[in-house]
Amino acid sequence: MLACLGLAGMAGALTPAFGGLSRSLEAVLDTAPDGPPARVILGPGRRDVRLWGDLNDGTAARLRQLLDANPGVTRLHLTSDGGLVDEGVAIGELVAERGLSTYVPDYCVSACTLAFVRGRERLIVADSRLGFHAPYEPGLFGQMIPVDASDERGRYLAAGLEPAFVDHALATPSRDVWIPDPARLRAAGVVTRVVGPGDLPDSTLDDDDSLSGARSAVLRAVDLLAAFAESRPGVLDGIAARYREAYRQGRSESDGLDLIRAEAVDALRTAFAGADGATLAALGRLVLDAMAASGSEQTCRSIGRDGDLLAAAETLPGRRGAGGVARLRALLGRALAGPAPVVSTAAQPAPAHPLGCADLRRRLAEALARGDALRLREALLGRSARRLEASALPGEP
């Protein structure tokens, strides 16, 4: 018997997970009953097991083998669109037998929920999606034949779920899926705690922790970095490798996103260190616009003092393709068309008496008005960028 997700009418109900790191649910789910075998791997510290994929024959047996070899495991990460009900039940029995907590970092649908609800503690993040519907038997030509759901009903109730919730879940047709919000899940006893993205180890690469998988995750988080893929692929690969290492060390999803964004800012600053004067002036106007639109002293200083070009782009709303991200993407393409700079433009240490937002805006506006390339480069990228230009162009003062 199967409990897999049907996608009819679903697209509008789905939202991306934290920070854009996770895939959109509609991009990974499939109505086919059989997918590739679930990936079952040991996490960092040998305290977490990560399960990703369809619950096909043998998934529970592989999980048992891994748990037998690692008795210190305390938590099971579940990311699955369902599969065989018997496998979901067997995994749930393992969870209860070993006293494991269960955690859904992204989505857990259909048969997967039978495993999730057996957790000693049942955890999600605010963007997690738990999906419920009636079980079925596969028929010819993609038919889903409804079957008796009394066994599933009994298992949900035995796990402490609210009867009205269980009735609603199992009354949902097999081709549809019901995704309650976190408040409803907590009220019904499905979830015991909603955690933050910084509380538990990152699960973004549970399906694929290769360099290619990490690169895809990096681009989902900051798609501006796609500009480096052709002209300077080593930059993108370096960010992906460092993010993958953070994942393997068990750092949280928010830590991973912070790392990617910090690396992206440094890559952007380095790229613009080699830009021509016209491109740099256009970047200056973008940054000046962003500081004016920032709405807070802290954000303005982050943009104008710390050189956070990513924050600058995101501060300006998109209007007919002319928002900050679109503007920065076009300028980045121009900067990357030139030679790669020979030094980094990592943010400089904060001065003893840092400038406020108004002074930062005035300094940048004056540099733009004068057309002073060296002063403008220094205002945008710091003194290291000025030294770079002076060494690259010895004929200038």
Where in the chain do CATH 3.90.226.10 domains reside?
Answer: 2-195
Indicate whether 321 pLDDT > 60. Answer: no
Indicate whether 9 pLDDT > 60. Answer: no
Task: Please give the biggest Cα pair distance in the chain.
Answer: 84
- pLDDT score recorded for residue 141: 56
- pLDDT score recorded for residue 320: 57
Q: If you average pLDDT over residues 74-100, what whole number do you get? A: 97
**310 vs 274, which has greater pLDDT?**
310
pTM: 0.79
Which superfamily does 2-195 belong to? 2-enoyl-CoA Hydratase; Chain A, domain 1 (3.90.226.10)
Q: How does the average pLDDT of the chain come out, rounded? A: 85
- pLDDT score recorded for residue 145: 63
CB 338, CB 329: distance < 8 Å = no
CB 31, CB 6: distance < 8 Å = yes
| Banded model confidence at residue 225, pLDDT cuts 50, 70, 90 | very high
Residue with tokens 């990974």: 28
Tens digit of each residue's pLDDT (9 = 90 or more) over 270-305: 999 989 999 999 999 999 999 999 989 999 999 999
**375 vs 210, which has greater pLDDT?**
210
Q: HSE-up of 66 (CA within 13 Å, CB side)?
A: 24
Question: Of the ranges 136-145, 181-190, 298-307, which one carries the lowest mean pLDDT score?
Answer: 136-145
